[in-house]
Amino acid sequence: MLQPLLRKSKTMKCLLTQLSLSSLPKSPYYNNIHNQILNRHFYPPLVFFSSNSRINRREYCSNSITKVAAMASAKIVREAESVSYLNQREAAEIDEILMGPLGFSIDQLMELAGLSVATSIAEVYKPAEHKHVLAICGPGNNGGDGLVAARHLHHFGYKPSICYPKRTAKALYNGLVTQLESLSIPFLSVEDLPEDLSTSFDIIVDAIFGFSFHGSPRPPFDDLIRMLVALGNPNPKNQKLPVIVSVDIPSGWHVEEGDLSGEGIKPNMLVSLTAPKLCAKKFSGSHHFLGGRFVPPFIADKFKLDLPAYPGTSMCVRIGKPPRVDISALRENYISPEFSEDQAEADPFAQFQKWFDDAMASGVKEPNAMALSTTGKDGKPSSRMVLLKGFDKDGFVWYTNYESQKAHQLSENPQAALLFYWDTLNRQVRVEGPVQKVSDEESEQYFYSRPRGSQIGAIVSKQSTVIPGRQFLRQQQEELEAKFSDGSLIPKPKYWGGYRLKPELFEFWQGQTSRLHDRLRYLPEEIGGKRVWKMDRLSP
């Protein structure tokens, strides 16, 4: 009953904190939820307000919300040096508090940790190129995090396998195994693993040992760690190696001193949980993320933790800057169905409609966004993104300011090019042709279909002109909003309207492997006094 309320607004959370335990059902489950509400983002643990309390509830809630809002506005990417690190004792003490007075259960924390690991992986390593995952799970909580991460990765589109050689005989872990087996995720013994992990896997999740591990690894984990260490050695075959993602602690490292021998695992990604441990300062891989979005201010204050704010609804946040990338090495190997002549529509307008519908269905953001390229009499090209607002046999329509740079160029040279790019489908469409203004009636009809705020924006914006600052726009906007606050008709400015490009060329591009892309071009020609479209295949 109360669980959905945890997802309500901050104000609701403040109201919920005023409930006493006597108003809740008498069970540990509800007691734990009550404690979590009290401590999650707002109060020190187990604070109750009585009717004669000297603490003003409304003021407390208001101040807390302000504090959280300030935290949320912090930089999402934090320099590694400005983030707090925990020693082993502090990490253990935080776990005891979370599972003690704060009411978290081990399975709750494990679920949040595993989800954090999976989302961190998905943030960097996309399943199109890193599909096959091996999660090597130890017998403790760290291994449980790996099992949960594997389940989420399966639902994210990856193909995980599990190596879980020393299973923990507890109901929680048995349940995790059952969940994975129900998804037909294979469990591999150590003997089943290939000697060279790079032949079968793109990602290795190191979930063997956590921060509570002491001593030297015992069989079979010593051999598993050696296999992971071998992946960091020079590769004479120059083959693609799987990336290693360590959960909280690279297995075999000292929790505070790091890789003491210098010959341990060298993960490409480290996902710290709750807060980074001291050994993370020695991490030299490309990607360091923080997960475990459950630390209330009480713990942050008690342990003087300086942690980055999580963006939006994300379960992970990057620590430090992303690695600098060699731009020349950036490559996307497009994997798409072939686009052949017999699949293409004879009419390019019909083909565009089909692909536009696919883009709409794929969920791509603003499928009607298109690059518009124009040139003036000086021959200098200019491009910008605009939004398609209609298309039919007469052409492609967009709306803008008739005194903008693009408008001046079109008045000098009424020829333009459009480019649509739908990255999730590996598709582009080019359209070229002459441009003319749409009728005043058509422009007016569209103008009054827009929200009133957009109508006012069209008047405020003298597009492409120099202005003294953003406040200049705000002031004009406020003046117009006040002027038309009675709901009266907002007149369409004479300098605002639409353009229509009448196509004389279409090109449909479908990305393919090895850069052997499909390119089909349509050009009009006269046959028997009738205008038809001729289709040609272009070399990629």
Catalytic center residues: 515
Query: Does the annotation list 251 as a binding residue?
Result: yes
DSSP H/E element including 510 = strand 505-510
Residue type, 427: R
DSSP H/E element including 433 = strand 427-437
Residue with tokens 């030299």: 284
Contact (CB, 8 A) for 515 and 335 = no
Query: Does the annotation list 141 as a binding residue?
Result: yes
Ramachandran category for residue 512: left, alpha or beta (phi over 0 → left; psi -120 to 50 → alpha): beta
Query: Does the annotation list 508 as a binding residue?
Result: no
Query: Does the annotation list 413 as a binding residue?
Result: no
Query: Does the annotation list 215 as a binding residue?
Result: yes
| Bond from prior residue into 220 cis (ω within 30 degrees of 0) | yes
Query: Does the annotation list 336 as a binding residue?
Result: no
Query: Does the annotation list 143 as a binding residue?
Result: yes
- Going 460 to 465 to 466 to 470, the CA torsion angle's sign is positive
Residue type, 289: F
SS3 track for 393-428 = CCEEEEEEECCCHHHHHHHHCCEEEEEEEEHHHCEE
Instruction: Identify the burial level of 439 via C-beta atoms within 10 angstroms of its C-beta, where 0-12 means exposed, 13-18 middle and 19 or more buried.
Output: exposed
Q: How many CA atoms lie within 13 A of 367 on its CB side?
A: 18
Give me the residues paired with residue 203 across strands.
133, 243
- Going 16 to 22 to 23 to 28, the CA torsion angle's sign is positive
Query: Does the annotation list 206 as a binding residue?
Result: yes
Residue with tokens 């690059």: 371
| Bond from prior residue into 451 cis (ω within 30 degrees of 0) | no
CB atoms within 10 A of CB 86: 22
Query: Does the annotation list 487 as a binding residue?
Result: no
257 CB-near residues (< 8 Å, 6+ apart): 278, 279, 282
DSSP 96: H
Q: Measure the CA–CA gap between 273 and 113, rounded to whole angstroms.
A: 7
Give me the residues paired with residue 435 across strands.
501
Query: Does the annotation list 261 as a binding residue?
Result: no
Nearest to 32 by CA among 90, 96, 108, 95: 108
Query: Does the annotation list 214 as a binding residue?
Result: yes
Binding-site annotation, residues for (6S)-NADPHX: 141-145, 210-216, 248
Binding-site annotation, residues: 141-145, 206, 210-216, 248, 251
Binding-site annotation, residues for K(+): 142, 206, 251
